[in-house]
Structure 1
Amino acid sequence: MISLSNSPNGTVSSTTATKRLARAIMVSAGEFSLVLACCKSVERQQQILNVLTEFSSTNIQEISLSPAADVLYTAITSAIATTQPEALMVRGLESVVAINQLIISTNIMRNEFRKQFRFPLVLWINEEILCKLVWLAPDFKDWAASTIRFDVANNQLVEAEPQAINA
């Protein structure tokens, strides 16, 4: 298996998150679901996608948004045309110039996603985009069961708990 991190805990965390992503895609086969995959590095996203093929038998189509994209729904429908992929990964949100406009239009058009897409939609985001989704597209963001994070190691989660208890 390809390693996603130099540290053992980082590898375990990334492997667990990658398996969660594969499971979320598999469980939602044939119906719309929104999955948010949070990762700060584009290079790391690519590593995770390479490893994902080990955990998922689903044929995952991938599109990368243009920096000039202003409506997510239109960008997706243009890319997939009339086909319904088994799953779709959207990358490049961090490079979109008018990201606020794109996120607001996504929230406004959210019902079209459910009506027209019969596949899991995975949006690769970073923390900044996640915050914008919470503030600018709360209704759309709420469709995601939970955000799958690839940048938090298990030991960081464990270490955070005792500090909270001692405070």
Structure 2
Amino acid sequence: MNIPNNSPEDLGNNLAAAERLARAIKVAGGEFSLILACCDSIAKQQQILKLLQELSSVAIQEMRLMPTDETLYTTITNTIGISQPQALMVHGLESVVAIPQMLISTNLMRDEFRKNLHFPIVLWVNNEVLSQLVWLAPDLKNWAATTIRFDISNSQLIENQAVSA
């Protein structure tokens, strides 16, 4: 597990990203929306969740996937039952053993999300899961707005852009 770096730059970036996340959840109110939140550090993710609770006026239900879960849609519907939360935050995707199969089935079932789930879903991913999502579930990934990242400082972002250029 990574220890979060709490430099002033990182705190500012995380606050701005948390504000974007809170705004995306609020704007989606009552409609299905897929929001990807990317963070490699579980400790930093917990900090962000606390901050999000302070920033958001929306009641956010949370659920954690188990390593043995096989389908995202069924797991969500079994967890929430007939209720429709204002927003749902899904953790633990990185722990799923059959992650490729889950992502492929989620991509195939994507229309069911929009038809039956009338609330925003925040799917927490790490960089590894995000890259698998891009390759294995491209249609689902395209439904998501820009991924909200919590692990990249301005200096890292500049460095990553220089490497990829």
Mark yes or no: TM-score above 0.5. yes
User: Is the aligned partner of 1:45 residue 2:16?
Assistant: no
**SS at 1:113's partner residue?**
helix
Normalising by structure 2, we get a TM-score of 0.93
Question: Alignment partner of 2:57: what SS?
Answer: coil
Task: Report the alpha carbon displacement of residue 158 of structure 1 after superposing the two structures with TM.
Answer: 4.2
Match of residue 70 from structure 2? 70
Report what 1:25 is aligned to. 25
Structure 2 residues without counterparts, runs of 5 or longer: none
Question: Per-residue deviation at 1:24?
Answer: 0.4
Per the TM alignment, residue 5 of structure 1 is displaced from its structure 2 partner at its CA by 4.3
Tell me the alpha carbon deviations over residues 64-97 of structure 1, each in whole angstroms, 9 at most, x when there is no partner: 0010000000000010000000000000001000
Aligned residues: 161
Amino acid at match of 1:12: G
Q: Secondary structure at the match of 1:146?
A: coil
> For 1:90-136, what per-residue CA distance to the aligned partner results, in whole angstroms no more than 9, with x for missing partners?
00001000001100000010000000011000000001110111110
In structure 2, what is the equivalent of residue 14 of structure 1? 14
| Offset of residue 45 of structure 1 | 1.1
Q: 1:105 and 1:18 mapped to 2: Cα distance?
A: 29
Q: CA deviation at 1:16?
A: 0.4
Distance (Å, rounded) in 2 between the aligned partners of 1:81 and 1:108 = 21
Question: Secondary structure of 2:146's partner?
Answer: strand
> Alpha carbons of 1:84 and 1:51: their partners in 2 closer, same or farther (altered >3 Å)?
same
CA distance in 1, matches of 2:40, 2:106: 22
Residue in 1 that maps onto 2:145 = 145
Aligned to 1:125: 125
Aligned CA-pair RMSD: 1.5
TM-score normalised by the chain length of structure 1? 0.92
* Partners of 1:101 and 1:79 in 2: CA distance: 20
Larger gyration radius, structure 1 or structure 2: 1
Question: Deviations 1:19-43 (Å, cap 9, x if unpaired)?
Answer: 0000000000000000000000122
Match of 1:79 in 2: 79
Please give the alpha-carbon distance, in whole angstroms, between the structure 1 residues aligned to 2:107 and 2:16. Answer: 30
Residue 63 of structure 1: CA displacement? 0.2
Q: Following the alignment from structure 1 to structure 2, what is the Cα–Cα distance between the partners of residues 133 and 123?
A: 11
Deviation at 1:160, TM superposition (A): 5.5
Q: Secondary structure at the match of 2:54?
A: helix
Q: Tell me if structure 2 keeps the 8 A contact 1:9–1:155.
A: no
The aligned counterpart of 1:101 is 101
